[in-house]
Amino acid sequence: MKWSLRGLFPYVIPLVFVVALFFAFRMGSLPPADFTFSNGTEIQSVDPAKSTGAPEGRIIDAIFEGLYRKLPDPTSPDDMVPLPGMAKSHDLSEDLKTYTFHMREGAKWTNGEPVTAYDWTFSWMRFLHPESGTQYAYQLWYIKNAKRYTTGDLKEGDRVEVELADRKDKAQMFPRGTMVSGIVKKIDTFEEGGKQSSGGHDEEEAIKYHVYTVDCVPEKDGEPDWDGPVKQRVFYTEGTPAKYLTKFPGAEAAMHVLLHFSEVGIKAPDEKTLIVELEAPTPYFLELASFYPMHPVNRTCVETFGYPDWTKPENIVTCGPYQIKERRIRDRIRLTKNPTYWNADEVSLETIDALAVQSDTTQLNMFMSGQMEWATVVPNSVLDQLRERDVDKKEDPERKEERDDLLIAPMLSTYFYRVNTKRPPLDDPRVRQALNLAINKQEIVDHVTRGGQIPAGSLVPPGITGYEGPVTQSYNPERARELLAEAGFGPGGKKMRPIQILYNTSEGHKSIAEVIQQQWKKNLHIDVQLRNVEWGVYLTTQREMDYDVCRAGWIGDYPDPNTFLDMFITDGENNETGWSNPEYDKLIEEARSEPDPEKRMKIMQDAEQLLVDQMPILPVYFYVSINMVRPYVKNFYPNLQDLHPLHILEIDEEQREKIREMEGLK
């Protein structure tokens, strides 16, 4: 059977030749890879501690490996489960709070060093360190005292580690300066600024400065001698105003005063054993141990080159199935098989190209012209035509059959808009509710996305066992106008200022933003401006909250409502809306330690109800995964998290040659 492209001619054929020439030119002398896919956009980093996006995750998961790794369930390949990675096995205590991981024998870094339990004590310490600025730090706060380490939450009597302000390079976190261990004797706190509204909520957070009196202890065999003689010293963190230090003659500047990392529940009694103690039973901890931000990094490499130089292809040391051979900005990352990987014999593909292709149409053109095996995004405008393909019409001119290269499946993911709740009038929940009720989400999934997506009224997608989200309101422009009027806008009130929608470069995001722009103008009579920026600028702008309304999406890191809901705790690293609700924070914290599964799910539902009532986000739809994958690619399984480990993929060469011949691509 020969595939007919007639229905897609306007989208595909005119650009095929141009695309082919462009990428041929960019490739230069680089030979074709065994497997090529579009990674969407230019990745920001391959540092696990500094990455949050799916494009980054695909690469990091290929070049590093965690204690466990998400792989297809051998008995049900469409389900992804944590299976042994750098840890060959684990034990779990009776109280379900202590994991003992047994490291795999013979695993090596690409510089020849062995992979050991100490790589996790270093990597997770770095991950949790406040200076790392890790957006996912809260995912390890299930570990005993991890949150206190990150937040600098100290009290008198705590064991602490003090980093003196004598780093050779203060811009580099590692290697650190001189480290001093001790016990906090006294904490003096000084506060500046801070204003309160009439309602008692902080409008401007006070700045707090601390001066620590510490009973310092000597070291013995490289470890603090807590029973040894003490010497009292006084420390202050750099930036403390001099006026607060007059009472402390001889006080010493410090980069950080933190809970001693030995107090955190991450221990390596030897190189083959890692013990992790949790605050409370966490049924999805193995999922977190498999999550790419928690993958280890090589200490020698990080401390030799510093960030970001340690991530450059010529410097980076990795431990996963692949290593970075070459990176061409705005073009591709070339991955090559890592011969030192512990399971290298089972890795089929020798070379993989991850292309930086932002245009949905360009992805389709390249897929149809045989330049890639996997397109991660498909233009919404041609989905209906792609669903069916022409077949041999000699017997039945009207017969159609579904394509075997278009894979659409349910997905544990939500498309939503963040709202900057710090900017008037978006600080008013009634305005945010009005914006939500004025979006016709059914129109968006029917006429824009077209892939079977489900309109969303809340954040957590359906399909999580034991959880049912709160009842939500649907499209209601009349009620939306009433809410705006109650907030003082519209007929009889003042005119709403223009609202700007921020989104990263994508034809799909643009189409959705344009529809919402029209709907808000029609239903609420407000002016809406669109702002399109590249991925890196988008991430920075969102993080700095320099926006009104911002396109967002979230793929569940594990199959539990918490992976969606704990984002929006006060000052959460992935909150990025400015929204804060003490009751919500309390519920999320209660859910962390609730052992009864049914009660826990009810607590999570109550938390999501608060989120829906306050609406710091505007849910748009629940995703489906849409991938175009060549039929000769084996072991590619649609799944709820849309995870497709590169190292398990294989190519049926005989089938590839047949298909390319049928397509006239030989």
Long-range contacts of 298-303 (CB under 8 A, 24+ apart): 298/109, 298/111, 298/113, 298/119, 299/118, 299/119, 299/122, 299/123, 299/174, 300/111, 300/113, 301/111, 302/126, 302/174, 303/174, 303/175
**Does residue 198 surpass a pLDDT of 50?**
no
Domain residue ranges of the chain, discontinuous segments joined by +: 6-62+303-406+626-662, 69-299, 410-624
**Does residue 65 surpass a pLDDT of 80?**
yes
- pLDDT at position 494, please? 87
- Three-class DSSP labels, 405-432: CEEEEEEEEEEEEEECCCCCCCCCHHHH
**Does residue 19 surpass a pLDDT of 50?**
no
In angstroms, rounded to a whole number, what is the distance separating the alpha carbons of residues 8 and 36? 22
Establish how many alpha carbons lie within 13 A of residue 21's alpha carbon, considering only the half-sphere containing its beta carbon. Answer: 5
Amino acid, single-letter form, for residue 332: R
Q: What's the average model confidence in pLDDT over 465-472?
A: 92
- pLDDT at position 20, please? 45
User: In whole numbers, what is the pLDDT of the chain averaged over residues?
Assistant: 91
**Does residue 493 surpass a pLDDT of 90?**
no
What tens digit of pLDDT does each residue of 619-642 get? Answer: 999 999 999 999 999 999 999 999
Burial tier of 152 (Cβ tally within 10 Å: 0-12, 13-18, 19+): middle
**Does residue 23 surpass a pLDDT of 80?**
no
- pLDDT at position 545, please? 96
- pLDDT at position 203, please? 53
What tens digit of pLDDT does each residue of 558-583 get? Answer: 999 999 999 999 998 899 999 999 99
Return the CATH number of the domain spanning residue range 69-299: 3.90.76.10
**Does residue 321 surpass a pLDDT of 60?**
yes
Question: Quick one: how far is CA 156 from the chain centroid?
Answer: 36
**Does residue 348 surpass a pLDDT of 70?**
yes
- pLDDT at position 394, please? 44
Q: β-strands 633-634, 650-651: how paired?
A: antiparallel
Residue of 212, 222, 125, 141 whose CA lies nearest to 174: 125
- Residue 360: CB atoms within 10 A of its CB come to 25
**Does residue 25 surpass a pLDDT of 60?**
no
**Does residue 83 surpass a pLDDT of 50?**
yes
- pLDDT at position 199, please? 37
**Which residue would you say has higher pLDDT here, 557 or 115?**
115
pLDDT-wise least confident of 214-223, 392-401, 469-478? 392-401
Q: Is 228 helix (H, G, I), strand (E, B) or coil?
A: coil
- Percent share of the chain, pLDDT over 70: 92
What tens digit of pLDDT does each residue of 224-268 get? Answer: 999 999 999 999 998 999 999 999 999 999 999 999 999 999 999
Furthest-apart CA atoms within the chain: distance in Å? 96
Q: What's the average model confidence in pLDDT over 66-84?
A: 96
* pLDDT confidence band for 516 (50 / 70 / 90): very high
**Which residue would you say has higher pLDDT here, 7 or 433?**
433
Q: List Cα–Cα distances, 341 to 29, 82, 107, 662, in angstroms.
A: 27, 19, 7, 37
Establish how many alpha carbons lie within 13 A of residue 395's alpha carbon, considering only the half-sphere containing its beta carbon. Answer: 4
The CATH architecture one would assign to domain 410-624 is Roll (3.10)
Domain 6-62+303-406+626-662 has CATH 3.30.420.10: no
- pLDDT at position 665, please? 74
In angstroms, rounded to a whole number, what is the distance separating the alpha carbons of residues 140 and 285? 9
What size, in residues, is the chain? Answer: 666
What tens digit of pLDDT does each residue of 349-362 get? Answer: 999 999 999 899 99
- pLDDT at position 593, please? 84
Copy the structure tokens of residue 572. 């959460």
Q: Is the pTM for the entire model greater than 0.75?
A: yes
The two domains 6-62+303-406+626-662 and 410-624 share their CATH topology (first three levels equal): no
**Does residue 170 surpass a pLDDT of 90?**
no
- pLDDT at position 3, please? 35
Q: β-strands 499-504, 528-533: how paired?
A: parallel
- pLDDT at position 9, please? 41
Q: Is 570 helix (H, G, I), strand (E, B) or coil?
A: coil
* pLDDT confidence band for 387 (50 / 70 / 90): confident
Question: Quick one: how far is CA 484 from the chain centroid?
Answer: 34
- pLDDT at position 404, please? 87
Can the peptide bond before residue 595 be classed as cis, meaning omega within 30 degrees of 0?
no
- pLDDT at position 160, please? 98
First CA to last CA across the chain, in angstroms?
Answer: 16
* pLDDT confidence band for 197 (50 / 70 / 90): very low
pLDDT-wise least confident of 181-185, 385-389, 405-409, 581-585? 385-389
- Percent share of the chain, pLDDT over 90: 81
- Residue 234 has φ and ψ, to the nearest 5°, of -120, 135
